[in-house]
Amino acid sequence: MTPTRLQSTAGPLLQARGLTKSYGLTRALRGADLSLDAGEILAVSGASGSGKSTLLHCLTGITNPDEGAVLYGGERLDQADEKRRSALRRTDFGIVFQFGQLISELTALDNVLLPLLLDGRPRAEAVGHAAEWLERFGVRAQSGLKPGELSGGQAQRVALARALVTGPTVVFADEPTGALDSLAGEQVMSALVHAVRESGTAVLLITHDARVAAYADREVTLRDGVVLAAPAFDPAAFPTAPPAAEELS
């Protein structure tokens, strides 16, 4: 049975409260709180090892936190069974990783088609829809190519088309431009922002690149498994201001 897609929510679309997660002695999350509104683009930045990917895995139900709650539209995702969580990942969530993780044996079109077919859509309708999303991301001309024949930027745009084709309410993007040069990265980010603004899709964007985070409406920073409200203060970025004229007189 196709699960009921979230229609509307009062309050945040997605919330994490007090998430903890350890791998053996490593405490990846130590009480992380986060909230994402419908249609909002939120950047989560943080140093390597600060817990960004673990947070994303908890929010998408790929991993269960040890403690704390994940609420999606008020539903406790951390208490949902695996069947429900994977259904949500198929219908309500789109996920893009640093290396797009396209299926190498399938063409770009078939990669984008796949989630629609898995969702039970008729093939003819799905082909039209997939082609439309490839067009939106400027890679329709590459429909018949396999991932190995695409540039890194083209492959990421195909991965984004695949993530958005099902009309998710949230796209989770884990370092989506991390493997790209700056021009390709900018093309991918502006295509993503343009597409989600049109569709009203929220984005949780994991990045350690300030230029990528600048595309977001809001930014939070993870430090040692805890979410800080704003990016860490970097004194080097704020040189001491010259004294005001009246102070000199």
Give me the 36-65 binding string for ligand ATP, x by CB under 6 A, dash otherwise.
----------x-xxxxxxx-----------
Q: Does 210 bind ligand ATP (CB under 6 A)?
A: no
Residues ≥6 apart with Cβ < 8 Å to 55: 16, 19, 29, 32, 34, 44, 206, 222, 227
Give me the 154-193 binding string for ligand ATP, x by CB under 6 A, dash otherwise.
----------------------------------------
Residues ≥6 apart with Cβ < 8 Å to 60: 85, 89, 93, 95, 172
Minimum Å gap between C-beta 95 and ligand ATP is: 14
Nearest residue (CB) to ligand ATP, 62 versus 114? 62
**Which residues, 116 to 145, sit near ligand ATP by CB under 6 A?**
none
Minimum Å gap between C-beta 22 and ligand ATP is: 8
Number of residues that bind ligand ATP (CB under 6 A): 11
Alpha carbons 171 and 192: distance in angstroms, whole number: 10
Q: Does 26 bind ligand ATP (CB under 6 A)?
A: yes
Minimum Å gap between C-beta 142 and ligand ATP is: 28
> Taking a C-beta distance cutoff of 8 angstroms, is the pair 139, 102 a contact?
no
Long-range CB contacts (< 8 A, 24+ apart) of 149-156? 150/108, 151/184, 152/179, 152/180, 152/181, 152/184, 153/180, 153/183, 153/184, 153/185, 153/187, 153/188, 154/108, 155/100, 155/102, 156/96, 156/100, 156/180, 156/184, 156/188
Q: Does 25 bind ligand ATP (CB under 6 A)?
A: no
Nearest residue (CB) to ligand ATP, 50 versus 107? 50
| Footprint on this chain of ligand ATP (rule: CB under 6 A) | 23, 26, 28, 46, 48-54
